[in-house]
Chains A and B, each alone.
Chain A
Amino acid sequence: AQSVTQLDSHVSVSEGTPVLLRCNYSSSYSPSLFWYVQHPNKGLQLLLKYTSAATLVKGINGFEAEFKKSETSFHLTKPSAHMSDAAEYFCVVSAGYSGGGADGLTFGKGTHLIIQP
């Protein structure tokens, strides 16, 4: 069994300040972890993924996330927020085995990121 918890439903930051979106997971397997972003009226887009390589993962648009097994966390960060970062962010955990079905993916409930001018 696996689960994912996004610790904040809403995060508000000022433009130019750091962003931290928190995600904790549990998994019986060595997990793969993903962050997806959903801009208003758009589909989800992959930001970055961890699949048992380097624990610090860099993604698109300046985002990165660090896999910490001891803390079962995969927090998403960005040094400086931009207005275009305003969106919904989803943390996703999987059983991590190649060829697994989509029923092996678990999506978090999402964190709404608000950027204040």
Chain B
Amino acid sequence: DSGVTQTPKHLITATGQRVTLRCSPRSGDLSVYWYQQSLDQGLQFLIQYYNGEERAKGNILERFSAQQFPDLHSELNLSSLELGDSALYFCASSAPGLGPNTGELFFGEGSRLTVL
């Protein structure tokens, strides 16, 4: 158990809908990262937050948005969903003072989104 909690584990929805994925980082970790994993694209970095502030942005679509709250949990909002958004969405966190390039990322078990 990594200590990173993601909900829901599975989500099935229809095209055009909006969903929210939630992540609680490990106790004491200030950074949260969101990744999308699909069969054709592999693991893609979406966005990173540090203590409530956006820190780095990857291949995140304009239809997607995220935020990190004062209690450090984070939410990833996906709107106007398309079939191609079906994927496994991972959240990760890292220890204070250790960026992802030198430290370890702790991953949750992911939220599997299916868009029908």
Contacts and interface: CB of A to CB of B under 8 A. Distances in A.
Interface of A: 32, 36, 41-46, 49, 51, 90, 94-105, 107-110
27 contacts: A32-B101, A36-B105, A41-B109, A42-B109, A43-B2, A43-B90, A43-B107, A43-B109, A43-B110, A44-B43, A44-B90, A44-B92, A45-B107, A46-B105, A49-B104, A95-B101, A97-B101, A98-B98, A98-B99, A99-B101, A100-B101, A102-B33, A102-B45, A102-B105, A103-B48, A103-B56, A110-B43
Nearest to A51: B102
Interface residues of B, number: 24
B57 interface: yes
Contacts of A98: 98-99, 101-102
Provide the main secondary structure of the chain B interface.
loop
Contacts of B42: 107-110
B101 A43 contact: no
Interface string B89-111: 01010000011111011011110
Interface of B: 2, 4, 33, 42-43, 45, 48, 55-58, 90, 92, 98-102, 104-105, 107-110
A90 B90 CA distance: 15
Contacts of B105: 36, 44, 46, 102
B102 A101 contact: no
Contact of A100 (B33, B99, B104, B108): B99
A44 B55 CA distance: 22
A85 B81 CA distance: 36
A101 B55 contact: yes
Which 7 A-B pairs rank lowest in CB-CB distance, beginning with the nearest?
A101-B56, A43-B107, A94-B101, A103-B56, A100-B101, A44-B107, A102-B48
